[in-house]
């Protein structure tokens, strides 16, 4: 390198450096110094530099000197230092320093990851359309906005753990991916564990990341907007894909928007998250490469999440293959017939109602419940998801749909062999037979009119038999009657008197089957057996209707 282009650094001083320590200034530094003095933009170049040519080189130490306020002959007018198109050589180190001005570094290239651990910026820090091999800003405190927007490229770890950001964290159109141009030993990811963000987190506008975006235990006062973002998790040594977006235990005061073409190859984690508004995933593409379909892994984890608004899952680009909603709480659920794929965990998932545009027909809800993990529908049956659907449909006034879902549950229990398991193995056929009979004639308590219809058919059929029996002399008075006042048997009234055990029409008191001595076979005994059978059916029908009326057959009301 020629002598006049050599990059020199200030000699070590016990006191703060001065402008003389950086002389002779590089061309780009002179431009920056003049612009800082009059509060204008330092236009070192108009494009992002491809190479560190002498005309765009800017020493990181000189930039740090100005950022800290400069000194004699190097003042910063106003509250903003603005640089366009520079190549920052060396490492910008502002660790544990107070920076009294905003830094706007547009289309700049950094040779090393800046260090801002423990720094305090009273303004904002912006890297629009810049290129950085990473950023280390643990416990950073910034009163304004932190921005990696407008096409900013990050090729390493963006470390913001425990950072305090007064306004937005702006990552609109950010590109996060590894690059051969930057030697980096840290994984390519954004880490904001425990960060406190006073405004919104913006990761939309076509932002893409190959590496995890992690906000574990973060506090976001506004929204998290990732509409249209494309995220992809890295593969580990075993070929498994990790998390693409991680908000476990985070607190979001507003909405979380993963809509408008949001795409994630890898897990999206919301375990124990608290969201004040909606979680909007309409039009999203989860499990973009189909990893969850290979096994029992979950594409979306919402275990024990609390969402104050609506969980929106309509018009997904592909059905969800694996979602864990165990013990999650949401205000409303908005889904559609194409939302759910297979092996979901719905145990403990609570919602107050289905949203206006969500289907409430029993067919779709039964199909949804059938997408649970096989074990949760078989030997490890979980009744709570069924109860929740029935409860919500009833609350919404959809009693017919609720009844169909309840009947579907009983049929599922019978088909899966889960009825009568508490009985001895040799006697399990008995409760199973009774369960099937109860379903056929009473719809498991949800179709009481079937009982009345069956009783009416039995009443008329038996009345016909009694009429024929009387016509053939097989019905006789229980007591002798005068010839002039001899009454005739009323078959309909007699059959009704036999069938209804709690009402006495006095027909059974007056008439009884009586054998004819001239007949070899005793048909009167068959008529008598029919009266016993009809009476038994009458008692069963009466007790069934009483049990239905008092709610004894309703599993859901008994468990409420």
Look at residue 87 in the predicted model and tell me its pLDDT: 96
Range of the domain at 498: 448-478+490-549
Instruction: For 98-128, write each residue's pLDDT tens digit.
Output: 999 999 999 999 999 999 999 999 999 999 9
Q: Is the pLDDT of residue 485 over 60?
A: no
SS3 state of residue 151: coil
pLDDT band at 522 (very low <50, low <70, confident <90, very high): confident
- Look at residue 1 and tell me if it is in a domain: no
CA of 233: how far to CAs of 183, 265, 266, in Å? 20, 6, 5
- Look at residue 503 and tell me if it is in a domain: yes
Helices 448-471 and 429-442: crossing angle, nearest 10°?
90
Percent of the chain's residues with pLDDT above 70 = 91
SS3 state of residue 157: strand
> Which residue has better confidence, 178 or 385?
385
CA of 236: how far to CAs of 180, 243, 533, in Å? 19, 11, 71
> Which residue has better confidence, 292 or 502?
502
Instruction: Tell which residue, 277, 223, 272, 267, has the closest CA to residue 246.
Output: 267
CA of 370: how far to CAs of 211, 338, 366, 435, 436, in Å? 34, 14, 6, 21, 21
Instruction: For 202-258, write each residue's pLDDT tens digit.
Output: 999 889 999 999 999 999 999 999 999 999 988 776 667 789 999 999 999 999 999
Q: What is the mean pLDDT of residues 520-527?
A: 76
Look at residue 376 in the predicted model and tell me its pLDDT: 87
CA of 315: how far to CAs of 226, 280, 327, 394, 409, in Å? 17, 11, 25, 26, 27
Q: What is the mean pLDDT of residues 476-503?
A: 80
Beta pairing class for 475-477 and 511-513? antiparallel
- The CA radius of gyration of the chain, in Å to the nearest whole number, is 39
- Look at residue 140 and tell me if it is in a domain: no
- Look at residue 48 and tell me if it is in a domain: no
DSSP class per residue in 322-335: -EE-TT-EEEEEE-
Look at residue 516 in the predicted model and tell me its pLDDT: 59
Look at residue 12 in the predicted model and tell me its pLDDT: 43
Q: Is the pLDDT of residue 8 over 60?
A: no
4's tokens: 């006049």
Look at residue 298 in the predicted model and tell me its pLDDT: 77
- Look at residue 88 and tell me if it is in a domain: no
Look at residue 521 in the predicted model and tell me its pLDDT: 58
DSSP character for 236?
A: -
- Counted domains in the chain: 1
- Look at residue 494 and tell me if it is in a domain: yes
Residues whose CB falls within 8 Å of the CB of residue 10, separated by 6 or more in sequence, listed in order: 17, 21, 22, 61, 65
At residue 535, what are phi and psi to the nearest 5 degrees? -65, -40
pLDDT band at 3 (very low <50, low <70, confident <90, very high): very low
Q: Is the pLDDT of residue 486 over 70?
A: no
> Would you say 359 and 333 are in contact if contact means Cβ atoms under 8 Å apart?
no
> Would you say 389 and 365 are in contact if contact means Cβ atoms under 8 Å apart?
yes
Q: What is the mean pLDDT of residues 252-276?
A: 95
Q: Is the pLDDT of residue 336 over 80?
A: yes
Look at residue 481 in the predicted model and tell me its pLDDT: 63
Number of other CB atoms surrounding residue 429 within 10 Å = 11
pLDDT band at 420 (very low <50, low <70, confident <90, very high): confident
- Look at residue 504 and tell me if it is in a domain: yes
Using alpha carbons only, give the angle 416, 418, 422 rounded to the nearest 5 degrees: 160
Q: What is the mean pLDDT of residues 434-454?
A: 92
- Look at residue 345 and tell me if it is in a domain: no
> What's the number of CA atoms in the CB half-sphere (13 Å) around residue 299?
27
The pTM of this model reads 0.86
Percent of the chain's residues with pLDDT above 90 = 67
Question: In which region does residue 395 sit, left (phi positive, over 0), alpha (psi from -120 to 50) or beta (all else)?
Answer: alpha
SS3 state of residue 100: coil
Look at residue 483 in the predicted model and tell me its pLDDT: 55
């Amino acid at each position: 390198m020629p002598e006049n282009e050599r990059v020199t650094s200030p000699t070590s001083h016990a006191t703060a450096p001065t402008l003389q320590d950086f002389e002779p200034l590089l061309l780009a530094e002179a431009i920056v110094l003049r612009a800082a003095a009059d509060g204008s933009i330092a236009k070192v170049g108009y494009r992002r530099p491809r190479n560190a040519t002498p005309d765009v080189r800017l020493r990181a130490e000189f930039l740090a000197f100005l950022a800290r306020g400069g000194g004699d002959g190097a003042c910063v007018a106003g509250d903003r230092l603005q640089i366009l198109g520079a190549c920052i050589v060396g490492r910008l180190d502002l660790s544990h320093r107070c920076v009294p001005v905003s830094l706007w570094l547009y289309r700049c290239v950094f040779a090393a990851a800046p260090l801002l651990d423990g720094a305090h910026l009273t303004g904002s820090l912006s890297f629009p359309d810049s290129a950085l091999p990473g950023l280390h800003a643990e416990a950073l405190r910034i009163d304004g906005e932190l921005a990696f927007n407008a096409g900013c490229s990050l090729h390493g770890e963006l470390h913001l753990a425990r950072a305090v950001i007064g306004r937005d964290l702006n990552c609109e159109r950010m590109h996060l991916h590894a690059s051969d141009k930057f030697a980096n030993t840290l994984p390519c990811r954004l880490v904001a564990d425990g960060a406190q963000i006073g405004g919104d987190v913006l990761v939309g506008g076509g932002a893409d990341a190959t590496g995890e975006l992690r906000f574990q235990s973060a506090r976001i006062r506004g929204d998290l907007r990732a509409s249209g973002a494309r995220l992809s998790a890295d593969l580990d040594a075993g070929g498994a894909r990790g998390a693409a977006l991680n908000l476990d235990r985070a607190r979001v005061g507003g909405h979380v928007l993963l809509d408008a073409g949001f795409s994630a190859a890898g897990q999206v984690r919301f375990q124990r998250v608290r969201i004040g508004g909606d979680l909007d995933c309409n039009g999203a593409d989860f499990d973009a490469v189909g990893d969850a379909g290979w096994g029992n892994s979950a594409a979306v984890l919402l275990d024990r999440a609390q969402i104050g608004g609506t969980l929106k899952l309509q018009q997904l680009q592909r059905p969800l293959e694996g979602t864990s909603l165990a013990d999650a709480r949401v205000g409303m659920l908005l889904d559609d017939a194409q939302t759910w794929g297979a092996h979901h965990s719905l145990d403990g998932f609570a919602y107050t109602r289905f949203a206006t545009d969500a289907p409430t027909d029993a067919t779709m809800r039964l199909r949804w419940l059938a997408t649970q993990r096989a074990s949760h529908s078989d030997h490890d049956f979980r009744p709570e998801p069924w109860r929740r659907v029935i409860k919500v449909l009833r609350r919404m006034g959809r009693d017919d749909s609720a009844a169909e879902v309840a009947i579907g549950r009983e049929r599922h229990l019978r088909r899966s062999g889960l009825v009568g398991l508490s009985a001895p193995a040799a006697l399990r056929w008995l409760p199973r037979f009774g369960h099937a009979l109860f379903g056929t004639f009473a719809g498991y308590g949800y179709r009481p009119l079937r009982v009345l219809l069956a009783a009416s058919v039995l009443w008329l059929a038996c009345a016909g038999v009694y009429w024929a029996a009387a016509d053939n002399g097989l019905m006789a008075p229980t007591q002798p009657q005068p010839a002039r006042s001899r009454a005739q048997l009323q078959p309909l009234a007699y059959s009704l008197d036999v069938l209804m055990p709690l009402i006495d029409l006095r027909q059974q008191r007056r008439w009884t089957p009586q054998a004819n001595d001239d007949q070899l076979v005793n048909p009167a005994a068959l008529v008598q057996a029919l009266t016993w059978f009809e009476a038994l059916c009458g008692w069963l029908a009466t007790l069934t209707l009483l049990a239905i009326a008092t709610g004894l057959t309703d599993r859901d009301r008994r468990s409420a």
